[in-house]
């Protein structure tokens, strides 16, 4: 239903999965991104004005495609995470996980007992009744990836303890907020910020946890991220992609030199 297994298979096969963030309300945006060939979408309820119904529309738009819909929740709160899980996304992205205690809380919010505290009330996850409760519970805890964002220097300093928490499917580096927590917002190539990023990347891969990053697209820095071992990359956001292409079209038209019009009165008569 949500292509989570396809995403896992792509990672296991060594492919680098590519996605982009969704902030515009129309679910046609996610349908378009799936047609463009993205491996996943990043439905951003942390920074965009989504309610649950709007979020569901974007998740449903990916059904029948090869694209896995991820949802970044607003915060690490079990009561906020629970209704999003019931929409059956392929991944839950939890922002600002800065300690092993926060990591454990995020994992437990996404798992049913005895491994977590998730309340039972699926609808879409059991395909509206087409799947039995026992069959559903056999796969439910793997139906949605648990993705934790490392985007603060406090998290970097405790990365070993965070990675030791069972049930984490992936770590996602957030370079901009990480640099901001170090007093260097936007300076993601600063040597100190780079050392923090590479520490997280190295330790995550050594721990056998899938590594991702959310960053803007830059043809010069993309190979650097790949060399760091990232296995999935969230590049840009819908409004950036729309603006950049729209601006390129406008600029191209304005750069075309107009051919002077022929004055009808100066044409030679036969």
17-67: per-residue pLDDT in tens? 999 999 999 999 999 999 999 999 999 999 999 999 999 999 999 999 999
Spatial distance between the Cα atoms of 44 and 182, rounded to a whole number of angstroms: 24
**From residue 80, how far is each of 45, 101, 118, 251, 262 by CA, in Å?**
11, 18, 11, 43, 67
Query: Of the residues 47, 58, 115, 152, which is catalytic?
Result: 47
152 is catalytic: no
Of 34, 38, 167, 56, nearest in space to 105 by CA:
167
Decide: helix, strand or coil at residue 95. Answer: coil
Phi-psi region of 38 (alpha: psi -120 to 50; beta: other; left: phi over 0): beta
- Give the pLDDT confidence of 181-228 residue by residue, as tens digits: 999 999 999 999 999 999 999 999 999 999 999 999 999 999 999 999
CB 116 within 8 A of CB 85: no
What pLDDT does 257 receive? 83
pLDDT band at 255 (very low <50, low <70, confident <90, very high): very high
Structural domains of the chain sorted by starting position, each given as residue range(s) with its CATH number in brackets: 4-240 (3.20.20.60)
Of 226, 235, 231, 166, nearest in space to 8 by CA:
231
Residue 113 exposed, middle or buried by CB count within 10 Å (0-12, 13-18, 19+): exposed
Residue labelled with tokens 């043809």: 219
Q: Is the pTM of this model over 0.85?
A: yes
Structure tokens at 225: 């991220």
**From residue 195, how far is each of 150, 165, 170 by CA, in Å?**
14, 23, 20
Structure tokens at 152: 């603060």
């Amino acid at each position: 239903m949500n292509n989570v297994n396809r995403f896992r298979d792509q990672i296991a096969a060594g492919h680098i999965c590519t996605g982009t963030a969704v902030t515009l309300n129309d679910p046609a945006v996610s349908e378009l991104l799936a047609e463009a060939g993205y491996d996943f979408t990043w439905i951003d309820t942390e920074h965009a004005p989504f309610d649950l119904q709007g979020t569901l529309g974007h998740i449903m738009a990916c059904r029948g495609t090869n694209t896995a819909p991820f949802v970044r929740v607003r915060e690490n709160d079990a009561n906020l995470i629970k209704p999003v899980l019931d929409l059956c996304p392929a991944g839950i992205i939890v922002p600002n996980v800065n300690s092993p205690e926060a990591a454990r809380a995020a994992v437990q919010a996404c798992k049913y007992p005895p491994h977590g505290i998730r309340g039972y009330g699926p609808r879409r996850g059991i395909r509206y009744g087409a799947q039995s409760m026992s069959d559903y519970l056999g796969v439910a805890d793997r139906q949605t990836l648990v993705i934790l964002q490392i985007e603060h220097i406090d998290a970097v300093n405790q990365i070993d303890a965070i990675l030791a928490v069972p049930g984490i499917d992936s770590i996602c580096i957030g370079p901009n907020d990480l640099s901001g927590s170090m007093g260097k917002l936007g300076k993601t190539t600063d040597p100190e910020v780079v050392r923090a990023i590479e520490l997280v990347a190295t330790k995550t891969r050594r721990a056998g946890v899938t590594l991702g990053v959310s960053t803007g697209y830059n043809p010069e820095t993309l190979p650097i991220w790949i060399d760091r071992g990232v296995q999935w990359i969230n590049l840009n956001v819908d409004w950036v992609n729309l603006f950049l292409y729209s601006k390129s079209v406008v600029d191209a038209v304005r750069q075309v030199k107009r051919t002077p019009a022929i004055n009808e009165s100066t044409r030679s008569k036969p």
